[in-house]
Amino acid sequence: MPDNWGFVLAAYGLAAVVLIGYWRMLVRQESDLEDRSRLAPSSGHLTPGSQTTSARAGERSHAAPISGHPRPKPDSRDPLQ
Amino acid sequence: MRVLGAVTVVALAAGLVAGLGLAPREVTQGNVQRIMYLHVPSVWVAYVAFAVVFVASIAYLAKRGDAADRLAHASAEVGVVFTGVTIATGSIWGKPTWGTWWTWDARLTSVSILFVMYLVAAFNIPLVHFSVIWWRTLHQPPSLMTPGPAMPRVIIAALLVNFVAFSLLYVYFVAKRVHLLRREAEAAA
């Protein structure tokens, strides 16, 4: 019987394509999830713990944004401020 | 996970060397028989994967645990991938040895049912395994577990290396998929 190396290579090549393709799909999904979890805090995603904090802060939120101008402490203000 | 991945890659490389290099040329079929070192471990993993689906599904029904549900989901998905590899490599092997890519042989048909209906796969696995004994088929009967002339030790060794490599690949894929499903559930909560 002829050796048919072409069939052997086709079988191994096809299996490699399928298995590497599946592995790449898993890796891509993992990096997508990592990206999403990195973006989640800034997009207002609420976790059960942060929900309580946000709700409490939402009642009277006077906190200055971190990137904004810092407010002077009340006792350092003069009456005109 | 990285260590498991590295060990799996080493095992797959060893399996490739054993199957394509160390194992001798088979007398009847020639070198095309080397597809066996890919085809048989793939179907082994498919059997294991669907057995895990069966056990994990029962565990989920009994205790409603999310971990069992995720394991069943991951194992079913990986099982379908390996069943696809089994059918494709079997078809490529069938052409030069049987003269056809596909025939409605009992083994080939039952594996196709396994592929399509993986949800009830656990009940189909005995059918797949014993199809070559219960019916007259073009597919050869089990080579390892039937009485008769024993396979040369080097062929059995090459096959075992590939069994180990594919089993490790299955564990790696399932672990990765379970990890992803857990993170998806956490993100959606």
Residue A2 lies in domain? 1-37
Is A74 part of any domain? no
Three-state secondary structure readout of B90-148: HHHHHHHHHCCCCCCCHHHHHHHHHHHCHHHHHHHHHHHHHHHHHCCCCCCCCCCCCCC
- Disruptive mutation site among A5, A9, A24, A26 for chain B (greatest number of B CBs within 10 Å): A26
Query: In angstroms, what separates the C-alpha of B150 from chain A's closest C-alpha?
Result: 22
Cα separation, B141 vs B131, whole angstroms? 9
More confident: A22 or B146: A22
Residues of A in contact with B34 (CB under 8 A): 8
Query: In angstroms, what separates the C-alpha of B47 from chain A's closest C-alpha?
Result: 17
This prediction has a pTM of: 0.71
Is A16 part of any domain? yes
pLDDT digits (tens, 9 = 90+) for B105-153: 888 888 887 777 765 655 666 667 677 777 777 777 776 666 666 778 8
Eight-state DSSP code of residue B149: S
| Domain spans in chain B, listed from the N-terminal domain onward | 2-188
| Cα angle value B121/B122/B125 (rounded, 5°) | 80
B93–A11 C-beta distance less than 8 A: yes
Query: In angstroms, what separates the C-alpha of A71 from chain B's closest C-alpha?
Result: 36
Q: Give the chain A residue nearest B30 (alpha carbons).
A: A3
Is A46 part of any domain? no
Is A53 part of any domain? no
Eight-state DSSP code of residue A40: G
Q: Give the chain A residue nearest B78 (alpha carbons).
A: A22
Domain count, chain A: 1
Is A75 part of any domain? no
Is A60 part of any domain? no
pLDDT digits (tens, 9 = 90+) for B77-97: 999 999 999 999 999 999 999
| Cα angle value B166/B157/B132 (rounded, 5°) | 70
Is A54 part of any domain? no
Is A57 part of any domain? no
